[in-house]
């Protein structure tokens, strides 16, 4: 609570014009403790030194076997509509898997100067199929509650007896708490919060995502589930890319050498380039505050850092034997080809060897935005009448299969 209040004070100080009740910007609750005399600050320094040392020795490489982190999602709901469908929960897991494996289509948005720095964390996530006692589960805990404004109620949401939901063994599971986070008029709405590896307990290790920003949703600024990506970044030891120093300056940074020093955070979808501290800023990084559709990458060193943190501080997740739930919406695996290509207002699809199968056909533009979506019975010779599209490269996606198509209307 103190941390969130601190963030808001900082926001209010530097953006006195912001109407916090109406703002649609991201506000993450995570700020490291900069009181250098505090025990937490000492633990953070010890943590950062240990991670750096392990990375310098190159030891992080050996821990980087394929890893799947079992997740339990605690849905804290009050109104029936807050008890979200499984599909939305799966969409959050899917987003983590895309972004932590550099499989997000919108990675193409990264400006050329930062493309050589794009990283792949190589970390998978799944809903846990076994609870801490080994009993079968779908990895989702649904708890009716009177607790509102969850990110400001940290003392309650982690405890079933107080209207929250007790964590599952935090050494073997990543706990994600989701709930309504609207508060009284005139107060801000934090979009997420995470424990840091150097500052957490068995009860509160994990992340919180405001329901409004959870999974795929219809909001303006956090519709893609990337608040979850940002918070898992914190959970795996990353700090905000601008370094969190208060007041903002160029003196402190995030401790990561391939993210250029940056004065403060960015909101919305900034133009390229954004400059401060004598650098072009990597504002499209998941650890900045830009809108979901504009944050698209981790840097290479951030990915090394997270893998090192897993090995050093969360080894129970690396070695977890908890089984995964099979995604009921597991995408189809249906290769296809497009003709003609380039195309103008119409494309046809062929499916070698595919008999009739139902499936969605999606078309994305180069920014990763869906420009077309329709349900089809997938058969060779399907014709798609395209909407009006600007010239350029598009991606047709069916299940796991993706093909490029050039459109010249």
Q: Which residues bind Zn ion (CB under 5 A)?
A: 28, 30
Active-site residue flag, 329: no
Helices 226-235 and 86-99 cross at an angle (nearest 10°) of 60
Tell me: does residue 244 bind Ca ion (CB under 5 A).
Answer: no
Phi, psi of 293 (to 5 degrees): -70, -5
Tell me: does residue 254 bind Ca ion (CB under 5 A).
Answer: yes
DSSP conformational letter for 212 = G
Site string for Ca ion, 326-365 (x = CB under 5 A): ----------------------------------------
DSSP conformational letter for 157 = H
Contact 196, 237 (CB under 8 A): yes
Among residues 231, 301, 388, 403, the one annotated as catalytic is 231
Tell me: does residue 256 bind Ca ion (CB under 5 A).
Answer: yes
DSSP conformational letter for 324 = B
| Token pair in block for residue 143 | 């708890």
Tell me: does residue 282 bind Ca ion (CB under 5 A).
Answer: no
One residue of 170, 221, 259, 365 binding Ca ion per CB under 5 A: 259
Q: Which does 30 bind (CB under 5 to 8 A by kind): Zn ion, Ca ion, none?
A: Zn ion
Nearer to Ca ion, 180 or 253 (CB): 253
Q: Which does 28 bind (CB under 5 to 8 A by kind): Ca ion, Zn ion, none?
A: Zn ion
CB of 140 to Ca ion, least distance (A): 37
| Token pair in block for residue 35 | 């009181």
Nearer to Ca ion, 123 or 282 (CB): 282
If residue 50 lies in a helix (H) or strand (E), which one and from where to where? helix 39-56
The interface region with Ca ion, picked from 151-159, 232-240, 252-260, 298-306 by CB under 5 A, is 252-260
| Token pair in block for residue 239 | 């700090």
CB of 280 to Ca ion, least distance (A): 13
CB of 171 to Ca ion, least distance (A): 30
| Token pair in block for residue 114 | 């930062």
One residue of 33, 253, 288, 291 binding Ca ion per CB under 5 A: 253
Nearer to Ca ion, 154 or 238 (CB): 238
Tell me: does residue 99 bind Ca ion (CB under 5 A).
Answer: no
Nearer to Ca ion, 152 or 243 (CB): 243
Q: Which does 259 bind (CB under 5 to 8 A by kind): Zn ion, Ca ion, none?
A: Ca ion
Residues forming beta bridges with residue 192, ordered by sequence position: 28, 209
The interface region with Ca ion, picked from 190-198, 254-262, 324-332, 375-383 by CB under 5 A, is 254-262
CB-based burial label for 46 (10 Å; 0-12, 13-18, 19+) = exposed
What is each CA distance from 307 to 53, 181, 232, 285, 303, in whole angstroms? 13, 31, 12, 17, 6
Mapped onto helix, strand or coil, the DSSP state of residue 363 is: strand
CB of 134 to Ca ion, least distance (A): 43
Q: Rounded CA gap, 25 and 221, in Å?
A: 7
CB-based burial label for 135 (10 Å; 0-12, 13-18, 19+) = exposed
Tell me: does residue 304 bind Ca ion (CB under 5 A).
Answer: no
Q: Rounded CA gap, 351 and 389, in Å?
A: 24
Binding site for Ca ion (CB under 5 A): 253-254, 256, 259
Active site residues per annotation: 231
């Amino acid at each position: 609570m103190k941390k969130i209040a601190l963030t808001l004070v900082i926001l209010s100080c530097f953006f006195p014009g912001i109407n916090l009740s109406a703002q649609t910007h991201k506000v993450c609750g995570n700020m490291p403790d900069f009181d250098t005399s505090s025990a937490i600050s000492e633990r953070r320094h010890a943590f950062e030194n240990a991670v750096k040392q392990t990375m310098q020795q190159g030891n992080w490489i050996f821990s980087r076997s394929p890893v799947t982190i079992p997740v339990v999602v605690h849905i804290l709901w009050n109104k029936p509509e807050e008890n979200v469908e499984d599909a939305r929960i799966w969409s959050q897991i899917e987003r983590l898997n895309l972004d932590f494996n550099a499989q997000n289509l919108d990675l193409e948005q990264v400006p050329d100067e930062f493309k050589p720095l794009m990283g792949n964390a190589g970390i998978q996530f799944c809903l846990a199929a076994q609870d801490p006692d080994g009993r079968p589960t779908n990895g989702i805990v649904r708890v009716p509650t009177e607790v509102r404004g969850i990110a400001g109620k940290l003392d309650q949401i982690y405890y079933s007896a107080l209207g929250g939901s007790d964590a599952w063994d935090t050494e073997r599971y990543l706990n994600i708490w989701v709930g309504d986070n609207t508060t009284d008029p005139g107060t801000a709405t934090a979009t997420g919060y995470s424990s840091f590896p150097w500052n957490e307990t068995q009860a509160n290790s994990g992340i919180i995502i405001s329901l409004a920003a959870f999974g795929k949703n219809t909001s303006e600024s956090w519709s893609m589930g990337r608040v979850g990506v940002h918070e898992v970044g914190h959970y795996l030891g990353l700090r905000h890319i601008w370094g969190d120093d208060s007041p903002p300056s160029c003196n402190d940074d995030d401790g990561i050498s391939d993210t250029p020093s940056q004065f403060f955070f960015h909101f919305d979808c900034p133009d390229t380039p954004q400059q401060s501290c004598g650098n072009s800023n990597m504002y499209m990084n998941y650890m900045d505050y830009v809108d979901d559709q504009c944050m698209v990458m981790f840097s290479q060193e951030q990915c090394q850092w997270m893998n090192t943190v897993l090995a050093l501080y969360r080894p129970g997740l690396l070695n977890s034997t908890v089984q995964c739930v099979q995604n009921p919406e597991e995408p189809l695996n249906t290769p296809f080809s497009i003709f003609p290509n380039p195309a103008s207002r119409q494309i046809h699809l062929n499916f070698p060897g595919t008999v009739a199968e139902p499936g969605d056909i999606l078309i994305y533009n180069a920014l990763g935005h869906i420009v077309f979506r329709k349900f089809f019975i997938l058969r060779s010779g399907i014709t798609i009448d395209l909407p009006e599209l600007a010239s350029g490269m598009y991606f047709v996606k069916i299940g796991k299969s993706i093909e490029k198509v050039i459109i010249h209307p």
